[in-house]
């Protein structure tokens, strides 16, 4: 670990003392604190103290914005991505251990010609992160900025592994893995997309964070965002970080400068409710087999969950208009977009996106 000058170490200790009194950090103080973490000033015990002190007290929107600014200012960004590029990413940390939904959605959308700049990581607070599953699928995790940019423009799909674009995050990775619980970094990751997309479907593991997530992205220049949090009926783990079949999904939406709040139900999309256990996942190999089977035409709750999320992704990408001017869901359009997502799978286009990502040509 790189250790900074004593004055920086003392400044971080002062921030920890402030955290210990349960006093929130301002946006500027949070940007400074997370900057010191990523610059290698803090040791692992101090990083754990910062993250858990904030978690126990309850993190604030100002702390989230400051942390995101610190991370974005140090990331290695893609240059000139397509202006309509979208990211689909969850915060993780919901405890359900489901199959990888957003990674599957990325292939479905790319199969329909939507440029997807998918940001992901290895498992830090879950069983199998996006990068773990992609590796198990035989998809190389590229680190060359120019190559990733070409993939996004020519294949409509670039998988951006967080360590390649956020090398400074390595100072916190071991702590996050050791803690194994949701920290503020779970919320920061999806808001620090290396392609600087302005369109995002963000799955959130706690309904209370829907508004802060969208507030943060709006302040950073996003134009169309849905932050979604599924409510799991009859479970001790109440929330899930995706649009779900297991109950209502709460949505905070930003659309061309206008905010909307509404709820989605599976029936609105013409889909049947199913418990979260129906999409329970395992390790990377198991999840990879399920994902490939899905793209090869397997039916069931996993497919329906992916179609539901992909349909909303199409709206965010500007390929449909689910909401009317009052922010009400147009169910006929939602069902039409579900059918478009199904076509991506049934036509083989989504599988083709996977094969292209593997480097298979035919």
**94 assigned ligand-binding residue:** yes
123 is in an annotated binding site: yes
Cα dihedral angle (234, 236, 238, 241), rounded to 10 degrees?
Answer: -110
Helix (H, G, I), strand (E, B) or coil at 109: helix
- Please check if 241 is assigned to a binding site: yes
Q: Average pLDDT, stretch 149-175?
A: 91
84 is in an annotated binding site: no
With respect to residue 242, please indicate whether it lies within any of the assigned structural domains.
yes
Angstrom distance (rounded) from CA 350 to CA 313: 14
- SS3 for 118? strand
Whether residue 324 is predicted with pLDDT greater than 80 in this model: the reply is yes
Evaluate if residue 362 carries a pLDDT over 60. Answer: no
Mean pLDDT on 74-84: 89
Confidence check: pLDDT of 290 > 70:
yes
Six-digit token string for 44: 């692992």
206 annotated to bind ligand: no
pLDDT level of residue 318 (50, 70, 90 thresholds): very high
Predicted confidence at residue 123, as pLDDT, reads 54
Q: Is 118 labeled as ligand-binding?
A: yes
34 plus 104 within the same structural domain:
no
Q: What is the mean pLDDT of the chain?
A: 93
Sign for the CA dihedral angle at 24, 27, 31, 32 comes to negative
For the chain, the domain total comes to: 2
pLDDT of amino acid 2: 46
* 298: confidence class by pLDDT, cuts 50, 70, 90: very high
Question: Given 73, 100, 131, which residue is the final one in a domain?
Answer: 73
Residue 81 has pLDDT above 90, yes or no: no
Q: Are residues 19 and 103 in the same domain?
A: no
Instruction: Please determine, for residue 1, whether its predicted confidence score (pLDDT) is greater than 70.
Output: no
pLDDT confidence tier of residue 256, bands split at 50, 70 and 90: confident
Q: Is 120 annotated as a binding residue?
A: yes
Q: Is residue 292 annotated as involved in ligand binding?
A: no
Say if residue 122 carries a ligand binding annotation: yes
pLDDT-derived band at 127 (thresholds 50, 70, 90) equals low
| Local structure of residue 323 (DSSP, 8 states) | B
Determine the Cα angle at 106 with ends 213 and 328, to 5°: 50
Last residue of a domain, one of 73, 95, 125: 73
The CA dihedral of 22, 181, 65, 315, to the nearest 10 degrees, is: -140
User: Domain of 352?
Assistant: 86-358
Other C-beta atoms lying within 10 Å of the C-beta of residue 3: 11
124 is an annotated ligand-binding site residue: yes
pLDDT at 294: 98
Whether 31 is in a domain gets the answer yes
Same domain, 219 and 291: yes
Q: Which stretch of 87-101, 184-198, 213-227 has the lowest confidence by average pLDDT?
A: 87-101
Is 90 among the annotated ligand-binding positions?
yes
- CA neighbours within 13 Å on the CB side: how many for 205? 22
**Pairing outcome for strands 116-120 and 239-240:** unpaired
Residue 187, domain CATH: 3.40.1030.10
State the average pLDDT over residues 111-115: 98
Residue 126 annotated as lining a ligand binding site: yes
Looking at residue 67, its pLDDT comes to 97
Query: Is 93 marked within a binding site?
Result: yes
Angle of helix 284-295 relative to helix 301-316, nearest 10 degrees, comes to 70
Lowest mean pLDDT among 105-109, 236-240, 309-313, 350-354: 236-240
How many C-beta neighbours within 10 Å does residue 179 have? 18
Residue 339 within any structural domain of the chain: yes
The answer, yes or no, to whether residue 5 has pLDDT greater than 80, is: no
8 A C-beta contact, residue 240 and residue 265: no
Tell me: is residue 100 an annotated ligand-binding position: yes
Q: Tell me whether residue 346 is annotated as binding.
A: no
Joined together, the tokens standing for residue 334 give 């939602």
Across the range 12-27, mean pLDDT stands at: 96
Q: Is 242 annotated to bind ligand?
A: yes
In a domain, 79, yes or no: no
- Is the pLDDT at 21 greater than 60? The verdict is yes
Residue 146, pLDDT score: 93
CA distance 292 to 281: 14
- Give dist(CA 155, CA 97) in Å, integer: 30
Q: Is 58 labelled as part of a ligand binding site?
A: no
Question: H-helix or E-strand containing 239?
Answer: strand 239-240
Q: Is 130 annotated as a binding residue?
A: yes
Q: Is the pLDDT of residue 338 over 60?
A: yes
Which of 42, 73, 104 delimits the end of a domain?
73
User: What crossing angle do the helices spanning 44-57 and 27-38 adopt, rounded to 10°?
Assistant: 150
Instruction: Tell whether residue 22 is among the known ligand binding residues.
Output: no
Mean pLDDT, range 39-52, rounded to an integer: 95
């Amino acid at each position: 670990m790189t250790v900074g000058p004593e004055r920086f170490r003392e400044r971080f200790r002062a921030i920890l003392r402030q955290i210990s009194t349960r006093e929130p950090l301002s946006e500027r103080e949070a940007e400074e604190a997370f900057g010191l973490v990523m610059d290698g000033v803090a040791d692992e015990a101090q990083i754990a103290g910062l993250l858990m002190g904030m978690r126990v007290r309850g993190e604030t929107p100002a702390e989230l914005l400051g942390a995101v600014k610190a991370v974005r200012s140090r990331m290695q960004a893609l240059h000139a991505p397509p202006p309509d590029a979208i990211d689909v990413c969850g915060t993780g940390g919901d405890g359900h251990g489901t199959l990888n939904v957003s990674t599957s959605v990325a292939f479905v959308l790319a199969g329909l010609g939507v440029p997807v700049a998918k940001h992901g990581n290895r498992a830090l607070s879950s069983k199998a992160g996006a990068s773990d599953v992609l590796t198990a699928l035989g998809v190389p995790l590229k680190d060359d900025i120019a190559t990733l940019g070409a993939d996004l423009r020519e294949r409509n799909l670039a998988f951006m592994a967080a360590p390649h674009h956020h090398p400074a995050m390595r100072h916190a990775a071991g702590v996050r893995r050791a803690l194994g619980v949701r920290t503020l970094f779970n919320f920061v990751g999806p808001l620090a997309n290396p392609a600087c997309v302005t369109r995002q479907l963000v799955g959130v593991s706690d309904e209370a964070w829907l508004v802060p997530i969208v507030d943060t992205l709006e302040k950073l220049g996003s134009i169309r965002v849905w932050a979604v949090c599924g409510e799991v009926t009859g479970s001790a783990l109440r929330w899930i970080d995706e649009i779900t079949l297991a109950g209502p999904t709460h949505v905070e939406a930003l659309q061309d400068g206008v905010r909307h709040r509404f709820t989605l139900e599976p029936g609105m999309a013409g889909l049947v409710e199913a418990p979260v256990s129906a999409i329970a996942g395992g390790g990377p190999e198991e999840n990879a087999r399920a994902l490939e089977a899905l793209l090869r035409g397997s039916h069931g709750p996993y497919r329906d969950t992916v179609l539901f999320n992909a349909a909303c992704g199409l709206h965010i990408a500007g390929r449909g208009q689910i909401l009317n001017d009052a922010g009400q869901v147009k169910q006929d359009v939602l069902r039409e977009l579900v059918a478009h997502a199904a076509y991506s799978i049934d036509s083989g286009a989504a599988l083709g996106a996977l094969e292209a990502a593997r480097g298979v040509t035919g």
